[in-house]
Amino acid sequence: MLQKSSWKDYFAVSKKDRNAFVITMVIIGAVIAAPFLFNRNKKATGISGADSALAQIPAGKDFFAQEEVDAAGITEEKLFTFDPNTLDLEGWLSLGLSRKTANTIINYTSKGGYFSEPENIRKIWGLKKEEADKLIPYIRIQNKKTARNNFSSGYEKRKVAAIDINQADAAEFKALPGIGDVLSERIVKYRNSIKAFAAIEDIKKVYGISDATFETIRPYLKISNPKVVMPTTLRNTDEQAVSATTTAKAVNINTATEKEMTAVGIPRNVARSIVVYREQNGNYNRVEDIKKIIFINADIYKNVAPLMTVE
C-alpha cells in the first residue's frame, strides 16, 4: 500500500543540490561586491579615475609630444659633421630630428642664440638626452669664443658681405647666417623660375624661409636689376624739362604678353594680373593705372614700374 506523500516531500533538496546552490550564491555575491571593493581600494590609495588612466603611461614619456621622433630616428647613416650655429632647418631634419625640435633650434639661433660648445645643445627644449648623445660627437663649432647675446655683433665677426639677390649664386647665399645647402639652392632655383626678384621681401616666398630667418638675413641683402635704368630728367638747350627713360628693356603693358613681361623681371603673378585687367578694362592710359589692381601696393609698384611703359 502506497504511503501518502506529505507537502514537505515536494520541497526536499538533496545534499548535492544544496552544495551547488551555495557555490552559485557565493559566485554571484563576489561579482556584485567586486566593483565596491575595487573603488574602495582606489580611494584608499588616493588615485582618481583620470589619474589611474595617466598612471598607465610609461614613465618618462611625454603624453603630448606626439610629433616628436624617438631617438632611434637619429641613425649613424644620417649623421654628419655640422655647426649648430649655421645649420639650417633642412639640415636638422636630415639629421633625424623632428620638425618641432628643429624649429626650436632655428628660432633660438635666429634670435641671437649661440652654441659656444657642443654640450650646449642639451639645453634645447624638446631635445632628448639620447638624441644629444648621438649628435654631440659630430658637432664642429668654428668659433668657440664666449657667445654674445647680441646677435648683430656676433655676425659682424663673420664679416658677411651684403649680396645682390638677383646676382648671387648658391655659394653666396649659403654664407648667410641660417642658410645652408638646401635653402641656398632653393633660392637660386626659385629666382631662375621667375627670372628675377622684384623686391627683397620676395625671398620670403621661397619655401623654407621663415619670417625669423628672413629677418636674420635681411641686413645682408640688396637688390638691383641691371636690365633697368631708372628714368632721368634731362634739360635741353632751351632749359625745358625733358623726361627720358634710358632703358630699352621697359615693356609696353598695353601690348606685352605675360611671357614678355616676365622676361624683363616682372613677377609672373603681376604680369598675369596686368594682362587680365587689360583684357577686362581696355588699355592703360598710364603706368600708374596698374595700381587699380587690388594687390599691387606701393612697394610692388615701386619695383615694377621702371620695367613698364605705356604707348
pLDDT in tens, 11-33: 566 677 777 777 888 888 877 87
With cut-offs at 50, 70 and 90, classify the pLDDT of residue 68: very low
Q: In CATH, which superfamily holds the domain spanning 232-309?
A: Photosystem II 12 kDa extrinsic protein (1.10.150.320)
140-144, 151-155, 224-228: which range is least confident on average? Answer: 151-155
Same fold flag, 71-151 and 232-309: yes
**CATH (one of 1.10.10, 3.10.20, 1.10.150, 3.10.129) for 71-151:** 1.10.150
SS3 per residue for the chain: CCCCCCHHHHHCCCHHHHHHHHHHHHHHHHHHHHHHHHHHHHHHHCCCHHHHHHHCCCCCCCCCCCCCCCHHHCCCCCCCCECCCCCCHHHHHHHCCCHHHHHHHHHHHHCCCCCCCHHHHHHCCCCCHHHHHHHHHHECCCCCCCCCCCHHHHHHCCCCCCEECCCCCHHHHHCCCCCCHHHHHHHHHHHHHHCCCCCHHHHHHCCCCCHHHHHHHHHHEECCCCCCCCCEEEECCCCCEEEECCCCCCEECCCCCHHHHHHCCCCHHHHHHHHHHHHHHCCCCCHHHHHHCCCCCHHHHHHHHHHEECC
pLDDT digits (tens, 9 = 90+) for 167-201: 889 988 988 888 888 888 999 988 888 888 888 88
pLDDT greater than 80 at residue 311: yes
Task: Give the pLDDT score at 218.
Answer: 87
160-222 has CATH 3.30.2350.10 classification: no
- Whole-number mean pLDDT of the chain? 73
The C-alpha cell that represents 35 in the structure block:
566593483
Segments making up each domain of the chain, as ranges: 71-151, 160-222, 232-309
Q: Please give the model's pTM, rounded to 2 decimal places.
A: 0.31
Residue 23, pLDDT score: 85
- Whether 197 contacts 166, CB under 8 Å: yes
Task: Read off the pLDDT band of 143 (50, 70, 90).
Answer: low
- Neighbouring C-beta atoms of residue 38, cutoff 10 Å: 10
Query: pLDDT for 71-115, tens place per residue?
Result: 445 655 567 788 888 888 888 888 888 888 888 888 888 777 888
pLDDT for res 51: 40
Q: Where is average pLDDT lowest: 60-74, 107-121, 289-303? A: 60-74
